[in-house]
Structure formats: structure tokens, C-alpha cells
Chain A
Amino acid sequence: MGEMSLDTLSSQYFDVLKELGNIGAGNATTALAQMIGTKVDMSVPQVRLLDFKDVGDMMGGAEQIMAGIYLAVEGDIDGSIMFLLNKKAARHLVDKLMGTGAKPEEENFDEVEMSALKEVGNIITGSYLNSLSMMTNLKMIPSIPYVAIDMAAAILSVPAIQFGMMGDKILLIETQFFDELKLSGYFILLPDMDGYSKILSSLGMGDIKL
């Protein structure tokens, strides 16, 4: 790998990454819709190149309380994938899955509900990664899911630190999803720098130097 320079990443590469996000999140959204039995829509994916100081604010404010489900990714691609919901949406999702009826939005999650959240994260990030894996022919093996319910910036510090070991910016593929009612959240795929160049070259984007 040559000198890392995210700033020189061309708009062509951005388009390819966006399309990857589109396919991955499309599959994940379908899996989510099947699980909860409602229609779930998604936005056009955003490929973002952020300074660390702006990471906290990317999802409606650094102190917004979110449920974050994190899976480390290994195999041909190293990195991580996250599935984030604001706390209200997570409450809504869990209530729907468990069939317990709507609980108050501010109610905390018990142990069973936390593991339900993990499982949701597991299934839908799994379908995201699977579709990418099939398209690129690269192995991507997720770890077990981890969940945290906390301020957005605190949760995002985890992938940010991983990027911090390699450079001064964070590159991510973000897709927002929502249903007609209360559900809204994000998928964020964060391959490491080697991962980006492997993905791009597996798709015939030539021998790129990121």
C-alpha cells in the first residue's frame, strides 16, 4: 500500500463506495423489515470523510442517546460495522420484536431486551456483510455483537480510535433507515484503509493507492 491519502480519494471511488452501501444496506433493511413485519425505507447512502472533531456531531448531536451495536469484522477485510438507533427507536424496535406492547420510551432495557438488540444487530449487519462479500468475493467475518446505550459521541469514539491509529480522518459509509412511524437509525461500515483498497480493486477499480 502506498502513502495513505484520503483527501485525494476521487469522486469516482466515492460513487463506488456509495453503491456498496446501497446494496449492503438494502439487504439489511429487507432483513429488518421481515423481522418486524413493517415496511422500512432507507436513504441514499452517504460516504463521509470526517475530521475527528466532527465525528460526535454526525448523528443529531454528540449527546444524543443512542443504542449502538458494534461488530468487529475480520477476514480479507478488517474493520467494523455498526448499527445505531436513537434510544426511542430502539425501545420501539425491541417492543415490537418481543411482542410485549409499547413500554414508555424512556424505560431502560433489561437483560433480555439487550440481548434482543444484539441479535437484531447480528442479523441485519450479517445480511449487510453477506451481500458485500458476495459482490466483492472478499471474506468478511463479523465478531459477536456488542451493545452500548450511551451518548453518540462516546459510542463513536470506538471506531474513531481505530481510525486514529492510521490517520487523521475517518471514512465511513452511512445509510439512514426509517419506517412510517418511529424507527430511524444508521448503518455505518468502517473498513480499515487496506480494506478500502481491497474492496475497490476487487470491483475492478484498478490498482489504487489509498
Chain B
Amino acid sequence: MSQIIKVGMADLNICVSPDGITTLGLGSCVGIAVRDPVTKIGGLAHIMLPDSTEIKNNSNIPKFADTGIEELIKRIVAKGAARSRLVAKIAGGAQMFAFQSNNQTMRVGDRNVQATLKKLKEMSIPVLAQDTGDSYGRTVIFYPENGNFVIRAVGKPEKII
């Protein structure tokens, strides 16, 4: 029996086909799904903040885009995936409230997406698809079996990227 592994906010985990992995209600956070298409080993990180170096209290690895992605990759590779074959899909980074201020902390969704893309590029992991930004929350489910990244939002049809 396959199961769906749940990942919380500022959390990450790995999974092996036929299992799937999910995180519920991504708001300004970003969900990063990574897999190796051959071994079908994958994982999902749910990061909250762009950059661990901007913050003093930064020991919580899965909380940040930079450290969270590194840890996710490390664990997927440790499970037996080939580092060179890894590919990613990302979702989230919404601006939940229509803040008019230019305050950086209010635009954290967008900054999370930018930091995620930058880190994946640095690590030479191609981003095959993304569903980011806008102003609504997303629930995502990732299947390392076929790489499907299912995205559900309130009042919108389900989509697969």
C-alpha cells in the first residue's frame, strides 16, 4: 500500500515511489519538490524564509530556502538518488494579504520564490515547473513515481504541473 507522507511548515521529508508526499495550505511559504526520475526517490521541503544568513537565530535548517534545499538534497542523495539526475518543481510564495506597504517582510512570498530559484540554480538542479505568486493558498502533493506535482487551491480546479 502506498501512503502519503505529510510535511508541516518549516519541515522537510523524503519519500520513495509509490508513496507521495504532501504539504497543506502553503501561503507565503514555498514548497520545493525534488526527485530522481530513475530511482524514483524524491522529497519535499516547506520553507518559510529566504535566507538563513539574514537571521541570527538560524539553527532551524528546514525553515530557510538556502539551508532547507541543501538538507533536502543531502537526504535524497543519502537515500540512493543520483545527485546529477535531480530535478525540481516549486509552488507557493503567495502574498496572502494585499499589503500596500513596501515593507520587505510583507513581500516575503516573492522573496521566498526568488531565493528558492537562486539556490536551485546554484546547485544546478533544473526547475521543470513552478506555480508561484498570486494571492491564494495552495495544497500540494508530489509523486516521485511520475514527477506529478498536484496543486489544489480554494475555488480553482486542481492542476498538475
In the A-B complex, the 8 residue pairs with the closest CB atoms: A154-B137, A153-B25, A53-B8, A157-B27, A154-B27, A146-B97, A62-B24, A151-B25
Q: How far is the CA of A167 from the CA of B48 in the complex (A)?
A: 12
Whole-angstrom CA separation of A162 from B96 in the bound complex: 13
- Interface size grouping (class) on chain B: 20 to 34
Q: How distant is the Cα of A56 from the Cα of B48 in the complex, in angstroms?
A: 13
Task: Give complex CA distance A130, B26 in Å.
Answer: 33
* Total A residues in contact with B, Cβ cutoff 8 Å: 34
CA of A53 to CA of B9 in the docked complex: distance in angstroms? Answer: 4
Interface set, chain A 113-165, CB cutoff 8 A to B: 146-158, 160-162, 164-165
Cβ-defined contact, A63 with B139, below 8 A = yes
Q: Is the interface of B mostly helix, strand, loop or mixed?
A: loop
> Does B128 make an interface contact (CB < 8 A)?
no
B154/A157 in contact, CB under 8 A = no
Residues of chain B at the chain A interface (Cβ within 8 Å): 8-11, 24-29, 48-49, 55, 57, 59-60, 63, 94, 96-99, 105, 108, 135-139, 154-155
Q: Say whether A23 faces chain B, with CB atoms less than 8 Å apart.
A: no
A residues with CB within 8 A of B: 4, 51-56, 62-63, 65, 68, 70, 108, 146-158, 160-162, 164-168
Asked if A150 and B136 make an inter-chain contact with CB atoms under 8 angstroms apart, the answer reads yes
Known contacts A165-B49, A165-B105; A157/B10 CB under 8 A: no
